[in-house]
């Protein structure tokens, strides 16, 4: 089912369907405003204000998704979502991102700004991110993030794919 997902830190919303969830986390396949798959999101449920079903906007987006389905012109549909266990999705995604050197975007509970980059290392409590400036695609250094503060991770996203491409070709 397709949802409008509203979180506590913004007035905007995301559109997506639930891939997997547990008591505290939800994994969402996100769609952009043209109905194309644009990312996978991990969101902590305590940061979700509302999830709406069957709105006029969702009906329109579902038609857009159907349009792309009939043309088989998906951007990321060939890239399958890894088989994650239902519990502790956050740690599994961190390990997955590290193992394949995948660019991710993270939001933490103590900072409104997101961090985008590659996971350089991780341990039980912290991850080190090699950060990339989203404005100019250049490396900006490392930042240490407390894993318990993470409430959102974006991965397999169009934005991060493009940013990574720009970073490699600058």
Q: What is the mean pLDDT of residues 53-60?
A: 98
Per-residue burial over 134-165, b if 16 or more Cβ lie within 10 Å, else e, is: beebeeeeeeebebeebbbbbbbbeebbebbe
Q: Single out the residue of 30, 69, 5 nearest to residue 154, CA to CA.
A: 30
Rounded percentage of the chain residues whose pLDDT exceeds 90: 82
Q: What is the mean pLDDT of residues 90-96?
A: 96
pLDDT digits (tens, 9 = 90+) for 9-45: 777 899 999 999 999 999 999 999 999 999 999 999 9
Q: What are phi and psi of 63, to 5 degrees?
A: -65, -40
**Token digits of residue 148:** 């318990």
Cα 63 to the center of its chain, rounded Å: 23
Residue 126 CA to residue 112 CA, distance in Å, equals: 19
pLDDT at 75 over 80: no
CA distances from 118 to 92, 96, 103, 107 (A): 15, 11, 5, 14
pLDDT at 123 over 80: yes
Largest CA distance in the chain: 45
Domain that holds residue 83: 2-168
Round the average pLDDT of the chain to a whole number and report it. 93
Instruction: Report the CATH number at residue 102.
Output: 2.30.30.600
Lowest mean pLDDT segment, chosen from 71-75, 118-122, 147-151: 71-75
Q: What is the mean pLDDT of residues 137-154?
A: 97
Lowest mean pLDDT segment, chosen from 39-48, 71-80, 104-113: 71-80
* Count of structural domains, the chain: 1
């Amino acid at each position: 089912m397709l949802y409008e997902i509203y979180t506590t830190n913004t007035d905007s919303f995301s559109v997506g369907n639930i891939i997997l969830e547990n008591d505290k986390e939800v994994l969402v396949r996100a769609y952009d405003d043209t109905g194309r798959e644009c990312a996978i999101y991990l969101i902590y449920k305590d940061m979700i204000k509302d999830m709406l079903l069957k709105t006029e906007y969702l009906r329109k987006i579902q038609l857009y998704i159907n349009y792309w389905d009939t043309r088989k012109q998906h951007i990321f549909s060939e890239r399958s979502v890894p088989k994650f266990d239902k519990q502790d999705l956050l740690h599994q995604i961190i390990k997955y991102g590290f193992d394949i050197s995948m660019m991710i975007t993270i939001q933490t509970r103590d900072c409104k700004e997101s961090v985008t980059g590659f996971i350089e290392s991780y341990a039980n409590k912290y991850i080190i991110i090699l950060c990339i400036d989203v404005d100019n695609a250049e490396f900006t250094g490392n930042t240490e993030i407390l894993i318990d503060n993470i409430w959102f991770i974006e991965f397999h996203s169009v934005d991060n794919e493009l940013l990574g491409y720009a970073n490699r070709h600058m």
